[in-house]
Amino acid sequence: MSETTDVGGAADVFLSVLKNIWDWVERVTSAVWSGLEWPHAVLIIFLVAIFCYRLEFKALIERILEIGPSGLKLQPPASQPSQPDGVEPRAVVDGSIPVAGELPPAPTNKGIPLPPTIVFPEQMRLNKEGILHEVAEMSDTEAKSYLITMLAFCRAMWSFEFCYANIFGGQIRLLQMLNQRIGRSIHMQEVNTIWATHQEQVKPVLDLWSAEQYLSYLSQNGLVEISADTVKLTIKGAEFVLWLTHFGRPLEKPW
C-alpha cells in the first residue's frame, strides 16, 4: 500500500510542477503580447517567418526578373530533368555487393557476361533450384540450347526495362510516330518542328534542352539512328515499341 501511495504522490508532484510551468509560460506570453502594439507583433511574426523560411525566400529572390503593377515575373527553376548515359549499368566483380539490377562485366577469358550473383539472394536461390529441376532430364545439348535462349530473353527484357525506366514521355511518342511512318524514318526538319511543339507544351521544364540533347538518349540506347537529314527507328527501337504494348507499360510519362 505504501508503495502505491509513493507512486501516486510522485505523479501528483510532477503534474503540479508541469501546471506551474505552463501557467508561467501563459503569463509571460500574455505580458509580452499585451505590452506590444499590433504592428510590432506582426513585425515579430514576419521576422520569425523570414528566419524559418530563409532558404526558400533566397531562392525566390534569385528568380525575380521583374517587379511591376501586375506582380512578379520569375524565371523558371534551374532544375532540369536528366537522363543517364546510354551505357547500361554494370557491377564490379571484386567481391563487393552490386546494386540491384546491375550486371557484372564479362570475364576477360570467356567474354560472356555473368548474371548477378549477390543481388536478391533468396530469389536467386529459388530460381536456381527451379532451373536445375527444369534441365535435370535434358541432355547437355538440350540444356545448353534452353539456357542460352532463356539468357538471351532475360538480357533483352533487362535492356528494354532499363530504357523504359529512364525514357521521357515525348521520346516514347516519337518512337511510336516513327514506327507508323513508311521506312520508319522522319526528316530532321519535321523532327525539329515536333520538338519545338513538345518543348512549348511542357514549358518551362525543357527550356534549357536542345533537340539534339533530347534525341541523344534514344540514339545512345540504339533505339534510333540519327543522320544529317533523318531520324530512323532501328530494329531494336521497333521491338521496344512492341514490348511497350505487349507488356502493358504505361505510355504516358513526364516530359
Does one domain contain both 175 and 221?
yes
Q: Is the peptide bond before 69 cis (omega within 30 degrees of 0)?
A: no
Residue pLDDT tens, the chain, 255 long: 555 555 556 667 667 777 888 887 777 667 666 665 566 666 666 676 666 666 666 666 666 666 666 665 666 555 567 777 654 433 333 333 334 444 445 455 555 555 555 567 888 889 999 999 999 999 999 999 999 999 999 999 999 999 999 999 999 999 999 999 999 999 999 999 999 999 999 888 898 899 999 999 999 999 999 998 999 999 999 999 999 999 999 999 988
Phi, psi of 186 (to 5 degrees): -135, 140
| CA proximity to 208, closest of 85, 82, 63, 84 | 82
> In which domain, by residue range, is 192 found?
165-246
pLDDT recorded at residue 236: 96
Is 2 domain-assigned?
no
Q: What is the spatial distance between Cα 31 and Cα 48, in angstroms, rounded to a whole number? A: 19
pLDDT recorded at residue 91: 35
* Total domains in the fold of the chain: 3
> Of the candidates 134, 163, 192, which is a domain's last residue?
163
Query: Where does 91-231 have alpha helices with state H?
Result: 121-135, 140-166, 169-180, 188-201, 211-220
- At 13, the amino acid letter reads V
> Of the candidates 130, 163, 196, which is a domain's last residue?
163
Question: The CATH number of the domain where 186 resides is what?
Answer: 1.10.10
Q: Would you say the pTM of this structure is higher than 0.85?
A: no
